[in-house]
A = this chain, B = another copy of it.
Amino acid sequence: MKSEREIIKELKKIFPKGKADVGIGDDAAVYKDLIFTTDLLVENTHFKRSHPPYFLGRKSVNVNISDIAAMGGEPLFVLMSLSIPGKLTGEWLDEFLKGVKSSCEENSCTLIGGDLSRAEHIFISVTAVGKTKNPVLRGTSKEGELIVLVGELGASRAGRETIEEGIDKFEKLRMAFLNPIPRVKEARTISKQATSMIDISDGLIIDLRRILGGKGAKLYENSLIPSEELEEFCKLKGKDPLEYILYGGEDYALLFTTGEKPQIGKIIGKVEGNGIFLGERRVEEKGFDHFT
């Protein structure tokens, strides 16, 4: 079985970028002043049927808006492919569409197209189109630059676990998983000074690797502190919060590099040497892969 990373590597080889300015492998593709991205949410892989449909509608749009934001872009439109079992065409679909609409409105964009089909399981694919004059890419950071984080890490993964295990507290963690909010405004500010940027969807370490390219990083130990709720959750479960902070995905925090004093966010390290280090300790570069 091939890994997701291997497949994406192959895809980059098979499909040259053609008339596009940026093709496969960044947060989004770029053509002239437009940016394009697509994200998939699949039942039983990304969510359970019990995910409230209103929040699922919001999340399916918001994770794409987050990719547009991470390029320094402004959202324009979304298109959606949706397949659902026939029995969900009533209240479930109404709530789902309310969620889609609320996210579109919050981000000044609209749904301009889509396709709808019946299936045994819920599949949602959204394509978002955005606009930017100066896209901020991945992999373009430079040695010595600061690594800056905007947002909290680990909450979404912990929230997912509270839901799956039926733990009836940790509202903030749960909402971080159910209803992530794309940081469009912050990303616009960041884009003025960032040399590279990404939204953390697969986990800090795997996404840091993406903005580092082949370079290394030194992360500051005391900068990666769990939130009160995450700490309490980890105590209850006997888990290490650092595991959630380094490898938990779907937080949609923003990670960027800059040679300047950052206008927003928390400095968590700098681009340096080879490998990724947390203090003196080398960090294992593992991350979520759909096929391994």
Chain A residues within CB distance 8 Å of chain B: 1-2, 4, 7-8, 10-11, 14-20, 22-24, 28-29, 31, 34, 36-40, 42-46, 76-77, 79-83, 86-87, 89-90, 93, 97, 101, 104, 109-121, 123, 125, 127, 129, 290-291
28 intermolecular pairs with C-beta atoms under 8 Å apart: A1-B86, A1-B87, A2-B90, A2-B93, A11-B111, A11-B114, A14-B111, A15-B110, A15-B111, A15-B112, A23-B113, A29-B77, A29-B79, A31-B76, A37-B79, A38-B125, A39-B81, A40-B115, A40-B123, A42-B119, A45-B119, A46-B117, A81-B81, A81-B125, A83-B123, A89-B291, A119-B121, A119-B123
**Is the pair A112, B77 in contact by a Cβ cutoff of 8 Å?**
no
Q: How far is the CA of A129 from the CA of B4 in the complex (A)?
A: 25
**Is the pair A45, B117 in contact by a Cβ cutoff of 8 Å?**
yes
Q: How far is the CA of A116 from the CA of B289 in the complex (A)?
A: 10
**Is the pair B118, A24 in contact by a Cβ cutoff of 8 Å?**
no
Q: Which B residues are CB-close (under 8 A) to A8? A: 116
* Nearest CB in chain B to that of A89: its residue: B2
**Known A23-B112, A38-B80; contact A15-B101, beta-carbon cutoff 8 A:** yes
Q: A63 → chain B, closest Cβ, in Å? A: 10
* Nearest CB in chain B to that of A26: its residue: B113
**Is the pair B121, A31 in contact by a Cβ cutoff of 8 Å?**
no
Q: Which B residues are CB-close (under 8 A) to A37? A: 79, 113
Residue among A4, A104, A115 with max Cβ neighbours from chain B (10 Å): A115
Q: How far is the CA of A195 from the CA of B136 in the complex (A)?
A: 42
**Known A83-B42, A93-B7, A117-B46; contact A31-B112, beta-carbon cutoff 8 A:** yes
Q: Which B residues are CB-close (under 8 A) to A83? A: 40, 42, 45, 123
* Nearest CB in chain B to that of A84: its residue: B291
* Nearest CB in chain B to that of A4: its residue: B116
Give 17 A-B pairs besides A17-B112, A45-B119, A118-B290 with Cβ atoms closer than 8 angstroms: A1-B90, A15-B101, A15-B104, A15-B112, A16-B110, A20-B112, A22-B112, A36-B113, A36-B129, A38-B114, A40-B115, A40-B116, A42-B83, A42-B117, A44-B119, A45-B83, A125-B125
